[in-house]
């Protein structure tokens, strides 16, 4: 680990010199690349400096205990040794986390898809609750949201919705939300007051650039049709809705949120690229593919990652055994406690193989 840290410090120092070179400054793309790399290394370099300072202090404190004749000075040094040993242990743990391989998609925007699963109308209503929860979560983080497509039921629920969430690090936090979410509650239509179980599926994809996906326009069939549902004058009067069919894979993407056919087409291609990128990642890594299948599944309520129990006001995160009695707060977008716990668990699992 320390050989790697020394290498990073050396590389950071080399880049510090390069970004001050007039020739490099004149080449803005290269200069920006170096600045970005330095920004990624800086937290590690600073933490390592803290670690080395603590190690030096420990050596000095031990030297005082061994050589100092003043008893009071020795006692103070012994206290400092205990504090420094704790600090060094803490810093070592933080350095290990900083050195863990980073997901290249972590800083990207997110395309989040909500689909109603088992449970009919109640599942569609729960899907609407989840969509609002993620929109509120994005709002709390001051991320921008853009609804790409929605297929509603007409009674306040959604069969399917796609939303683009724009914000630094959005994928790093929301990627843990992929999977089947289960709800247990008494539906408004249930006269006997019985608790029903329904489910909705969440899929989280990183937004990708054109260059990351080899998408041949000739492979895509574009169909236009009249938008349906609630809306303004253009709904049901113009062919503004767009359906893309990627013939090699069979992927289908629709978008009807905008009044403009051109804008809907742009949004649909954005979603298609992200879905193709996701397929590409799955093909490259079978383990990732199997993990995603086990998470997302078919939308059946038995394949759950999280349960929202209304009678008890409880949310249970099954992957890490976390239970919180904050249902209303969580549905209002207060997801950080769950996501932080999932990140910590993920880091701990990775550190086992460090």
User: How confident is the model over 58-97, as pLDDT tens digits?
Assistant: 999 999 888 888 888 888 999 999 999 999 988 988 888 7
- Name the DSSP letter for residue 275: H
Q: Does 301 lie in the same domain as 236?
A: yes
Same domain flag for 95 and 126: no
Q: Which two tokens stand for residue 250?
A: 């069979």
d(CA 311, CA 313): 6
Task: Based on the fold, state whether residues 229 and 296 are members of the same structural domain.
Answer: yes
Q: Tell me what the pLDDT averaged over the chain comes to.
A: 83
Lowest-pLDDT range of 4-18, 142-156, 161-175, 231-245: 231-245
Residue 317 inside a domain? The answer is yes
Query: Residue 28 is part of a domain; what is its CATH number?
Result: 1.20.58
Q: What pTM was computed for the model?
A: 0.66
In the prediction, which pLDDT does 299 show? 42
Same domain, 231 and 116: yes
Q: Read off the CATH number of the domain in which 270 is found.
A: 3.30.70.1660
Could you tell me the pLDDT band of residue 285, with boundaries at 50, 70 and 90? low
Q: Which of 99, 128, 148 is the last residue of a domain?
A: 99
Q: Would 105 be classed as within a structural domain?
A: no
Which carries the bigger pLDDT value, residue 155 or residue 129?
A: 129
Contacts of 182 (CB under 8 A, 6+ apart): 197, 198, 199, 301, 304, 306, 307, 308
State the pLDDT confidence band at 152, using cuts at 50, 70 and 90: confident
User: d(Cα 316, Cα 324) in Å, to the nearest integer?
Assistant: 6
Distance (Å, rounded) from C-alpha 80 to C-alpha 62? 9
Beta bridge partners of 308: 183, 315
Number of domains in the chain: 2
**6-43 pLDDT, tens digit each:** 888 888 888 888 888 888 888 888 888 888 888 888 88
Residue 319 and residue 141: Cα distance in Å, rounded?
A: 24
* Range with the poorest average pLDDT among 138-142, 258-262, 290-294: 290-294
Model confidence pLDDT, tens digit, residues 215-226: 888 888 888 877
Is 354 part of any domain? no
Q: Can you tell me which residue has the tokens 């247990």? A: 184
Final residue of a structural domain among 65, 99, 133: 99
Please state the rounded mean pLDDT for residues 288-311.
Answer: 61
CB atoms within 10 A of CB 65: 15
The boundaries of the domain holding residue 91 are: 2-99
Whether residues 24 and 73 fall in one domain: yes
Tell me the C-alpha distance between 149 and 133, whole Å.
Answer: 17
pLDDT in tens, 171-217: 999 999 999 999 999 887 666 678 899 999 999 988 876 556 678 88
Beta pairing, strands 304-309 & 179-185: parallel
Q: What percent of the chain has pLDDT over 70?
A: 86
Q: How far is CA 4 from CA 9, 156, 193, 280, in A?
A: 9, 54, 61, 31
- The answer to which of 117-131, 246-260, 315-329 has the lowest mean pLDDT is 246-260
Place of tokens 């209303």: 328
Please indicate, yes or no, whether residues 226 and 344 belong to a single structural domain of this protein: yes
Which of 73, 99, 125 is at the close of a domain? Answer: 99
Same-domain status, 89 and 154: no
Q: Which residue has 């921008």 as its token pair?
A: 144
Judgement on whether residues 120 and 82 belong to the same structural domain of the protein: no
């Amino acid at each position: 680990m320390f050989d790697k840290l020394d290498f990073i410090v050396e590389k950071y120092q080399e880049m510090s010199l390069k970004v001050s070179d007039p020739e490099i400054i004149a080449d803005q793309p290269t200069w920006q690349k170096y600045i970005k790399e330095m920004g990624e290394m800086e937290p590690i370099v600073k933490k390592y400096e803290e670690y080395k300072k603590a190690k030096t202090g420990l050596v000095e404190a031990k030297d005082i205990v061994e050589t100092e004749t003043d008893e009071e000075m020795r006692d103070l040094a012994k206290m400092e040794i205990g504090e420094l040993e704790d600090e060094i242990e803490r810093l070592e743990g933080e350095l290990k986390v900083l050195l863990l391989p980073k997901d290249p998609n972590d800083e990207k925007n997110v395309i989040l898809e909500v689909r109603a699963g088992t449970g009919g109308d109640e599942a569609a209503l729960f899907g609407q609750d989840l969509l609002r929860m993620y929109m509120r979560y994005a709002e709390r983080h001051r991320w921008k949201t853009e609804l790409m497509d929605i297929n509603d039921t007409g009674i306040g629920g959604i069969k399917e919705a796609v939303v683009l969430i724009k914000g630094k690090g959005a994928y790093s936090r929301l990627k843990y939300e992929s999977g089947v979410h289960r709800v247990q509650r008494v539906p408004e239509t249930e006269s006997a007051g019985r608790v029903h179980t329904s489910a909705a599926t969440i899929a989280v994809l990183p937004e990708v650039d054109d260059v990351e996906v080899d998408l041949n326009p000739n492979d895509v069939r574009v169909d236009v049709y009249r938008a349906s549902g609630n809306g303004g004058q253009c709904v049901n009067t113009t062919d503004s809705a767009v359906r893309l069919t990627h013939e090699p894979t069979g992927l289908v993407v629709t978008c009807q949120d905008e009044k403009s056919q051109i804008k809907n087409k742009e949004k649909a291609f954005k979603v298609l690229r992200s879905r193709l990128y996701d397929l590409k990642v799955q093909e490259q890594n079978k383990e990732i593919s199997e993990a995603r299948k086990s998470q997302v599944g078919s939308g059946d309520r038995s394949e759950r990652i999280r349960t929202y129990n209304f009678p008890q006001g409880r949310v249970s995160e099954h992957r890490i055994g976390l239970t919180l009695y904050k249902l209303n707060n969580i549905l209002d977008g207060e997801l950080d406690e769950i996501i932080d716990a999932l990140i910590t668990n993920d880091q701990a699992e990775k550190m086992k193989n460090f």
